Amino acid sequence: MKVAGVELQGSSVAVLGLAKSGLSAIALLRAQGALVTASDEKPFADLPAETRAALEDVTFVPQVDDPTLGQDLVVLSPGVPSDLAILGAARGRGIPVIGELELASYFLTGPVLGVTGSNGKTTTTALIGHILAQSGIDALVGGNIGTPPTSLIGASNEDTWLVLELSSFQLETVSNFTAKVAVCLNVTPDHLDRHKTMEAYKSAKARLFTTQREKSFAVLNAEDEACTEFAALTKGWPVWFSQDRPVTPGLYVQDGMVVLDDDPVMPVRDIPLRGRHNVENVLAATGASHLAGASLEQIAAAVRTFPGVEHRIEFVRDRNGVAWYNDSKATNVDAALKAIEAFDNPLWIILGGKDKGSDYRPIARALKNHVAGALLIGAAAGKIAGHLGADIPQVACGTIEAAIDHAARYAVPGDVVLLAPACASYDQFTSYEHRGRVFKELVQALAEPAKAGRN
């Protein structure tokens, strides 16, 4: 098999980044007869034991020693920036540099339904997978949602949809990859610590649409400027969605009903997910699922039974009239804003983590009328404090344990405690999932209070 012009059998291939995607790529490459060199920014001794075990009989070269030297092809895990100096030098030597998603595209069979966006893509991807399953349509779900695309190859076939959540990190290196149905929910500032500019970030998202072919479809947010630009870039047929006005062809809300091209789908009140943004997610998922063959009746029935996604405005517990919610997946400002907008109650919000070059001032405006307190944690706490300003009550907690303890002491019945950090997790946790699990475990372990009172 040739990948990016390179015959894999007998070729030397370097894989950079040894999380799930990298290890999955290594397994595929070895099965194809490639001679694999593995590399990571961490020294071999610092890798998890299971990773070291998976690299048995694979050459390891530290990233600082330039593992691209002498290679025929370089494959990147999504977490590895594509603008590293060693990669620029490799390209200068004529070595193709591709991502794990691009590698998978040469082997996957079956139509691809790709979902991207700054916020909502995990929920929308999972919802599409749920709708297709409930409609009797064969589908595999993966990508950024948890299963690397290269791990789906063995189960893929021409009659099975590949429903993939796709991040900008995965999309920035694609060329051969193409989606039959491509969805973009929104494009708002995120990952600027890696992409540096909004234009570069938007350009990475655009690859989902510039690689589409004839007779494909682009499901796009009619109220998002970047999405309207993507419509001009794709060879596919645009299908729009909007909460604010009728769109055609497309999905919208009218008189409390989700509507597709004048055909009613379901009442908005029947959507079990909290927040205005989740109505948009349902609109996009409805359009994509219908294009994949689900009827409107099947879609409505499946949406009503969708359980939601872990770490996305996930109800954890009611403790003496105080509701606790986990939105650890709110790793950027826009996601945190959407979570805030889902509540009218007095809000204790846990903010902070690893900064991604964000402006947190919009959060201050959103919190102004119903904040009980902002509980600040992690490396970004000082920057967030400055952006929130003196009008927002703040508590410098440092850790998630201290934030939970403060909220447990001072929240009163009717309040909501919300973890919506607006930051990455990597300063104190291994992932947003790890952060969310720790939050839930600590909240569940709280004893019932004797009596509470706000300070």
Give catalytic residues, as residue numbers: 121, 144, 191
DSSP three-state, residue 442: helix
How far is Cα 386 from Cα 376, in angstroms, rounded to an integer?
11
How far is Cα 128 from Cα 148, in angstroms, rounded to an integer?
18
How long, in residues, is the chain?
Answer: 455
Q: Is 361 exposed, middle or buried (0-12, 13-18, 19+ CB in 10 A)?
A: middle
Q: Is 163 exposed, middle or buried (0-12, 13-18, 19+ CB in 10 A)?
A: buried
Residue identified by tokens 């092809």 is 73
Q: Is 437 exposed, middle or buried (0-12, 13-18, 19+ CB in 10 A)?
A: middle
Amino acid identity at 86: I
| C-alpha closest to that of 292 among 113, 79, 66, 439 | 113
Amino acid identity at 48: P
How far is Cα 108 from Cα 90, in angstroms, rounded to an integer?
27
φ/ψ of 329, rounded to 5, equals -75, -5
Contact 259, 251 (CB under 8 A): yes
What is the torsional sign of CA 380, 386, 387, 391? positive
What is the torsional sign of CA 55, 56, 62, 66? negative
Amino acid identity at 25: A
| C-alpha closest to that of 126 among 153, 145, 148, 101 | 145
DSSP string over 111-143:
-EEEEE-SSSHHHHHHHHHHHHHHTT--EEEEE
| C-alpha closest to that of 263 among 228, 288, 300 | 300
How far is Cα 175 from Cα 171, in angstroms, rounded to an integer?
9
Beta strand pairing call for 237-242 and 250-254: parallel
How far is Cα 415 from Cα 346, in angstroms, rounded to an integer?
5
